[in-house]
A = this chain, B = another copy of it.
Amino acid sequence: MSDIAMIEAAAARLTGRARRTPLLSSPFLDEIAGRRVLVKAECLQHTGSFKFRGGWSAVSALPPEARARGVIAYSSGNHAQGVALAAREHGAPAVIVMPSDAPAVKIGNTRALGAEVVLYDRATEDRDAIGDRLAAERGLTLIRPFDEPLVIAGQGTTGLEIAEQAAEAGVDEAHVLVCCGGGGLASGIALALESRAPGLRVRTVEPEGFDDVARSLAAGAIRRNNRTSGNLCDAILTPQPGDITFPILRRLCGPGLAVTENEALRAMALAFAHLKVVLEPGGAVSLAAALFQPDRIADPAVIAVATGGNVDAPVFRDALRRFAP
Protein backbone atom coordinates (compact mmCIF):
# COMPACT_ATOMS: atom_id res chain seq x y z
CA MET A 1 0.00 0.00 0.00
CA SER A 2 2.82 2.41 0.92
CA ASP A 3 5.97 1.55 -0.99
CA ILE A 4 8.95 2.97 -2.81
CA ALA A 5 6.99 3.32 -6.05
CA MET A 6 4.50 5.64 -4.34
CA ILE A 7 7.38 7.67 -2.90
CA GLU A 8 9.00 7.96 -6.32
CA ALA A 9 5.69 9.06 -7.81
CA ALA A 10 5.31 11.69 -5.05
CA ALA A 11 8.86 12.87 -5.72
CA ALA A 12 7.98 13.38 -9.37
CA ARG A 13 4.94 15.48 -8.41
CA LEU A 14 7.02 17.48 -5.92
CA THR A 15 9.87 18.26 -8.30
CA GLY A 16 10.30 22.03 -8.52
CA ARG A 17 7.72 22.46 -5.73
CA ALA A 18 9.35 21.18 -2.55
CA ARG A 19 12.70 22.56 -1.58
CA ARG A 20 15.64 20.14 -1.56
CA THR A 21 16.73 21.02 1.97
CA PRO A 22 20.44 20.96 2.84
CA LEU A 23 22.24 18.42 5.02
CA LEU A 24 24.03 20.68 7.52
CA SER A 25 26.88 19.98 9.91
CA SER A 26 29.27 21.68 12.30
CA PRO A 27 32.56 20.54 13.84
CA PHE A 28 31.22 21.84 17.16
CA LEU A 29 28.25 19.48 17.08
CA ASP A 30 30.47 16.57 16.04
CA GLU A 31 32.57 17.24 19.13
CA ILE A 32 29.56 17.29 21.47
CA ALA A 33 28.17 14.06 20.04
CA GLY A 34 31.50 12.27 19.77
CA ARG A 35 30.67 11.27 16.22
CA ARG A 36 29.82 12.86 12.90
CA VAL A 37 26.41 14.58 13.02
CA LEU A 38 24.51 15.48 9.85
CA VAL A 39 21.29 17.49 10.12
CA LYS A 40 18.60 17.33 7.43
CA ALA A 41 17.17 20.83 7.78
CA GLU A 42 13.48 20.40 6.96
CA CYS A 43 12.81 23.55 8.96
CA LEU A 44 13.90 25.24 5.72
CA GLN A 45 11.13 23.52 3.76
CA HIS A 46 8.24 25.67 2.51
CA THR A 47 5.95 26.57 5.46
CA GLY A 48 8.79 25.78 7.87
CA SER A 49 8.37 22.01 8.12
CA PHE A 50 8.46 18.77 6.11
CA LYS A 51 4.65 18.71 6.18
CA PHE A 52 4.48 20.64 2.91
CA ARG A 53 5.74 17.50 1.17
CA GLY A 54 2.84 15.33 2.32
CA GLY A 55 0.30 18.09 1.80
CA TRP A 56 1.43 18.69 -1.76
CA SER A 57 1.62 14.96 -2.46
CA ALA A 58 -1.99 14.46 -1.36
CA VAL A 59 -3.53 17.58 -2.96
CA SER A 60 -1.69 17.06 -6.25
CA ALA A 61 -3.03 13.49 -6.50
CA LEU A 62 -6.70 14.47 -6.12
CA PRO A 63 -9.06 14.27 -9.11
CA PRO A 64 -9.76 17.83 -10.38
CA GLU A 65 -13.41 17.85 -9.27
CA ALA A 66 -12.52 16.80 -5.70
CA ARG A 67 -9.75 19.39 -5.60
CA ALA A 68 -12.21 22.08 -6.65
CA ARG A 69 -14.55 21.19 -3.73
CA GLY A 70 -11.61 21.58 -1.38
CA VAL A 71 -9.66 19.80 1.34
CA ILE A 72 -9.77 19.63 5.11
CA ALA A 73 -7.07 18.76 7.59
CA TYR A 74 -6.67 18.63 11.37
CA SER A 75 -3.35 19.62 12.79
CA SER A 76 -1.58 21.45 15.60
CA GLY A 77 -0.04 23.61 12.95
CA ASN A 78 2.62 22.17 10.67
CA HIS A 79 0.37 19.84 8.67
CA ALA A 80 -2.11 22.74 8.65
CA GLN A 81 0.33 25.10 6.97
CA GLY A 82 1.60 22.44 4.59
CA VAL A 83 -1.90 21.59 3.38
CA ALA A 84 -2.95 25.26 3.31
CA LEU A 85 -0.08 26.28 1.03
CA ALA A 86 -0.41 23.19 -1.17
CA ALA A 87 -4.13 23.87 -1.56
CA ARG A 88 -3.59 27.55 -2.31
CA GLU A 89 -1.02 26.75 -4.99
CA HIS A 90 -3.55 24.37 -6.54
CA GLY A 91 -6.36 26.94 -6.31
CA ALA A 92 -8.29 24.66 -3.92
CA PRO A 93 -10.19 25.79 -0.78
CA ALA A 94 -8.80 24.51 2.52
CA VAL A 95 -10.40 24.14 5.97
CA ILE A 96 -8.01 23.45 8.85
CA VAL A 97 -9.14 22.14 12.25
CA MET A 98 -6.59 23.28 14.86
CA PRO A 99 -6.34 22.92 18.65
CA SER A 100 -6.99 26.22 20.37
CA ASP A 101 -3.69 25.93 22.29
CA ALA A 102 -1.53 25.63 19.16
CA PRO A 103 1.28 28.22 18.91
CA ALA A 104 -0.14 31.56 17.79
CA VAL A 105 2.38 31.73 14.97
CA LYS A 106 1.02 28.50 13.49
CA ILE A 107 -2.62 29.57 13.70
CA GLY A 108 -1.82 32.99 12.26
CA ASN A 109 0.29 31.63 9.42
CA THR A 110 -2.34 29.06 8.48
CA ARG A 111 -4.96 31.80 8.19
CA ALA A 112 -2.56 34.03 6.26
CA LEU A 113 -2.03 31.20 3.77
CA GLY A 114 -5.70 31.49 2.88
CA ALA A 115 -7.16 28.61 4.87
CA GLU A 116 -10.36 28.74 6.96
CA VAL A 117 -9.28 27.81 10.51
CA VAL A 118 -11.69 25.99 12.87
CA LEU A 119 -10.43 25.84 16.48
CA TYR A 120 -11.23 23.01 18.95
CA ASP A 121 -10.36 22.16 22.55
CA ARG A 122 -7.65 19.48 22.59
CA ALA A 123 -8.71 18.19 26.02
CA THR A 124 -12.45 17.83 25.47
CA GLU A 125 -13.14 17.53 21.74
CA ASP A 126 -12.27 14.86 19.16
CA ARG A 127 -10.57 16.38 16.16
CA ASP A 128 -11.24 13.34 13.98
CA ALA A 129 -14.99 13.65 14.59
CA ILE A 130 -14.94 17.37 13.82
CA GLY A 131 -12.98 16.76 10.63
CA ASP A 132 -15.27 13.95 9.47
CA ARG A 133 -18.40 16.05 10.04
CA LEU A 134 -17.11 19.10 8.16
CA ALA A 135 -15.82 16.92 5.33
CA ALA A 136 -19.23 15.27 4.94
CA GLU A 137 -21.13 18.57 5.11
CA ARG A 138 -19.10 20.36 2.45
CA GLY A 139 -17.82 17.54 0.23
CA LEU A 140 -14.25 18.22 1.32
CA THR A 141 -11.53 15.61 1.02
CA LEU A 142 -9.95 14.87 4.40
CA ILE A 143 -6.16 14.82 4.31
CA ARG A 144 -5.08 12.89 7.39
CA PRO A 145 -1.82 14.06 8.96
CA PHE A 146 0.00 10.73 8.89
CA ASP A 147 -2.15 7.63 8.42
CA GLU A 148 -2.64 8.24 4.70
CA PRO A 149 -0.52 6.56 1.99
CA LEU A 150 -0.23 9.69 -0.17
CA VAL A 151 0.98 11.68 2.81
CA ILE A 152 3.46 8.99 3.85
CA ALA A 153 4.72 8.93 0.26
CA GLY A 154 5.22 12.70 0.26
CA GLN A 155 7.12 12.67 3.55
CA GLY A 156 9.15 9.74 2.23
CA THR A 157 10.68 11.99 -0.42
CA THR A 158 12.77 13.36 2.46
CA GLY A 159 14.30 9.90 2.66
CA LEU A 160 15.19 9.86 -1.04
CA GLU A 161 17.13 13.08 -0.51
CA ILE A 162 18.80 11.77 2.64
CA ALA A 163 19.97 8.68 0.75
CA GLU A 164 21.55 10.83 -1.97
CA GLN A 165 23.02 13.42 0.37
CA ALA A 166 24.47 10.85 2.76
CA ALA A 167 26.17 9.13 -0.17
CA GLU A 168 27.61 12.50 -1.30
CA ALA A 169 28.91 12.99 2.24
CA GLY A 170 30.51 9.53 2.20
CA VAL A 171 28.15 8.13 4.84
CA ASP A 172 26.69 4.68 4.19
CA GLU A 173 26.19 3.43 7.76
CA ALA A 174 24.24 5.64 10.14
CA HIS A 175 21.27 5.88 12.40
CA VAL A 176 18.70 8.32 11.02
CA LEU A 177 16.90 9.97 13.93
CA VAL A 178 13.42 11.19 13.08
CA CYS A 179 11.17 13.33 15.29
CA CYS A 180 8.02 11.23 15.55
CA GLY A 181 4.37 12.00 16.18
CA GLY A 182 2.06 9.63 14.31
CA GLY A 183 4.90 8.20 12.28
CA GLY A 184 4.16 9.51 8.78
CA LEU A 185 7.62 10.97 8.24
CA ALA A 186 9.47 8.15 10.00
CA SER A 187 7.65 5.45 8.05
CA GLY A 188 8.10 7.28 4.73
CA ILE A 189 11.81 7.78 5.33
CA ALA A 190 12.21 4.17 6.48
CA LEU A 191 10.62 2.90 3.25
CA ALA A 192 12.81 5.16 1.12
CA LEU A 193 16.00 4.13 2.92
CA GLU A 194 15.11 0.42 2.83
CA SER A 195 15.23 0.70 -0.93
CA ARG A 196 17.94 3.32 -1.50
CA ALA A 197 20.34 3.20 1.44
CA PRO A 198 19.92 0.01 3.46
CA GLY A 199 22.86 0.94 5.72
CA LEU A 200 20.85 3.87 7.08
CA ARG A 201 18.40 2.83 9.79
CA VAL A 202 15.57 4.96 11.18
CA ARG A 203 15.23 5.53 14.92
CA THR A 204 12.17 7.43 16.12
CA VAL A 205 12.58 10.19 18.71
CA GLU A 206 9.78 11.49 20.95
CA PRO A 207 9.39 13.66 24.06
CA GLU A 208 9.65 11.82 27.37
CA GLY A 209 6.16 11.06 28.67
CA PHE A 210 4.76 11.02 25.12
CA ASP A 211 6.72 8.03 23.83
CA ASP A 212 3.84 5.99 22.43
CA VAL A 213 5.89 4.92 19.41
CA ALA A 214 8.89 3.76 21.47
CA ARG A 215 6.58 1.78 23.78
CA SER A 216 4.66 0.37 20.83
CA LEU A 217 7.89 -0.73 19.14
CA ALA A 218 9.06 -2.37 22.37
CA ALA A 219 5.72 -4.12 22.89
CA GLY A 220 5.20 -5.11 19.28
CA ALA A 221 1.70 -3.63 19.42
CA ILE A 222 0.18 -0.16 19.46
CA ARG A 223 0.36 1.67 22.81
CA ARG A 224 -1.33 5.00 23.58
CA ASN A 225 -0.15 8.13 25.40
CA ASN A 226 -2.07 9.03 28.54
CA ARG A 227 -2.18 12.67 27.49
CA THR A 228 -1.50 14.74 24.38
CA SER A 229 -0.78 18.18 25.80
CA GLY A 230 1.47 19.79 28.40
CA ASN A 231 4.77 19.71 26.51
CA LEU A 232 6.46 22.32 24.32
CA CYS A 233 6.90 19.70 21.55
CA ASP A 234 3.36 20.37 20.35
CA ALA A 235 4.03 19.17 16.81
CA ILE A 236 4.55 15.55 17.87
CA LEU A 237 2.06 15.02 20.72
CA THR A 238 -0.16 12.45 19.02
CA PRO A 239 -2.22 9.84 20.87
CA GLN A 240 -0.70 6.76 19.19
CA PRO A 241 1.08 5.55 16.04
CA GLY A 242 -1.10 5.02 12.99
CA ASP A 243 -2.59 1.77 11.79
CA ILE A 244 -0.72 2.19 8.50
CA THR A 245 2.49 3.68 9.86
CA PHE A 246 3.06 1.33 12.79
CA PRO A 247 3.58 -1.91 10.83
CA ILE A 248 6.15 -0.07 8.69
CA LEU A 249 7.93 1.32 11.74
CA ARG A 250 7.87 -2.08 13.43
CA ARG A 251 9.41 -3.80 10.40
CA LEU A 252 12.11 -1.23 9.66
CA CYS A 253 13.08 0.87 12.72
CA GLY A 254 15.41 0.30 15.65
CA PRO A 255 14.30 0.93 19.25
CA GLY A 256 12.62 4.31 19.82
CA LEU A 257 14.33 7.12 21.71
CA ALA A 258 12.88 9.82 23.97
CA VAL A 259 14.34 13.10 25.22
CA THR A 260 13.39 15.64 27.88
CA GLU A 261 11.91 19.03 27.11
CA ASN A 262 15.12 20.67 28.34
CA GLU A 263 17.20 18.50 26.01
CA ALA A 264 15.04 19.69 23.11
CA LEU A 265 15.48 23.34 24.15
CA ARG A 266 19.24 22.86 24.49
CA ALA A 267 19.38 21.36 20.99
CA MET A 268 17.50 24.42 19.68
CA ALA A 269 20.13 26.69 21.24
CA LEU A 270 22.97 24.66 19.73
CA ALA A 271 21.32 24.65 16.30
CA PHE A 272 21.05 28.45 16.60
CA ALA A 273 24.73 28.76 17.51
CA HIS A 274 26.29 26.23 15.17
CA LEU A 275 23.91 25.61 12.27
CA LYS A 276 22.17 29.02 12.04
CA VAL A 277 18.75 27.45 11.75
CA VAL A 278 15.60 27.94 13.81
CA LEU A 279 14.09 24.74 15.24
CA GLU A 280 10.86 24.32 17.19
CA PRO A 281 10.96 22.03 20.24
CA GLY A 282 9.24 19.14 18.46
CA GLY A 283 11.58 19.60 15.50
CA ALA A 284 14.67 19.46 17.70
CA VAL A 285 14.16 16.18 19.56
CA SER A 286 16.12 14.20 16.96
CA LEU A 287 19.12 16.53 17.23
CA ALA A 288 18.78 16.37 21.01
CA ALA A 289 19.01 12.58 20.93
CA ALA A 290 22.00 12.75 18.57
CA LEU A 291 23.85 15.15 20.89
CA PHE A 292 22.85 14.02 24.37
CA GLN A 293 22.21 10.28 24.08
CA PRO A 294 25.33 9.10 22.25
CA ASP A 295 25.36 5.78 24.09
CA ARG A 296 22.06 4.79 22.50
CA ILE A 297 23.48 5.14 18.97
CA ALA A 298 25.80 2.55 17.48
CA ASP A 299 27.10 3.88 14.18
CA PRO A 300 30.03 6.26 13.58
CA ALA A 301 27.68 8.81 12.02
CA VAL A 302 24.20 10.00 12.89
CA ILE A 303 21.71 11.85 10.71
CA ALA A 304 19.13 13.92 12.59
CA VAL A 305 16.05 15.05 10.70
CA ALA A 306 15.22 18.53 12.04
CA THR A 307 11.59 18.53 11.10
CA GLY A 308 10.29 22.05 11.72
CA GLY A 309 10.98 25.61 12.83
CA ASN A 310 7.56 27.05 13.63
CA VAL A 311 8.18 28.28 17.15
CA ASP A 312 6.80 31.34 18.91
CA ALA A 313 9.50 33.92 19.62
CA PRO A 314 9.13 33.83 23.44
CA VAL A 315 9.81 30.07 23.51
CA PHE A 316 12.87 30.50 21.29
CA ARG A 317 14.16 33.42 23.37
CA ASP A 318 13.78 31.33 26.50
CA ALA A 319 15.74 28.45 24.94
CA LEU A 320 18.56 30.87 24.09
CA ARG A 321 18.49 32.53 27.51
CA ARG A 322 18.80 29.19 29.27
CA PHE A 323 21.00 27.19 26.94
CA ALA A 324 22.88 29.27 24.33
CA PRO A 325 26.64 28.58 24.50
Q: Which residue numbers of A lie inside 8 Å of B, CB to CB?
A: 19-22, 24, 27-28, 41, 43-44, 48, 85, 105, 109, 112-113, 269, 272-279, 309, 313, 316-317, 320-321, 324-325
Contact = CB atoms under 8 A, between A and B. Distances in A.
Nearest to A112: B28
Output the residue of A85, A317, A325 with the most chain B CB within 10 A.
Answer: A317
Nearest to A42: B276
Contacts of A20: 22
25 contacts: A20-B22, A22-B22, A22-B44, A24-B44, A27-B85, A27-B112, A27-B113, A28-B109, A28-B112, A41-B44, A43-B276, A44-B277, A48-B276, A105-B273, A105-B325, A276-B277, A276-B309, A277-B278, A313-B320, A313-B321, A313-B324, A316-B320, A317-B317, A317-B320, A317-B321
| Nearest 7 Cβ contacts at the A-B interface | A276-B309, A313-B324, A276-B278, A43-B276, A313-B320, A317-B317, A48-B276
Contacts of A316: 272, 320
Best-buried of A19, A21, A313 by chain B (most CB within 10 Å): A313
Contact of A272 (B24, B85, B313): B313
A273 B280 CA distance: 11
A276 B275 CA distance: 11
A313 B273 contact: yes
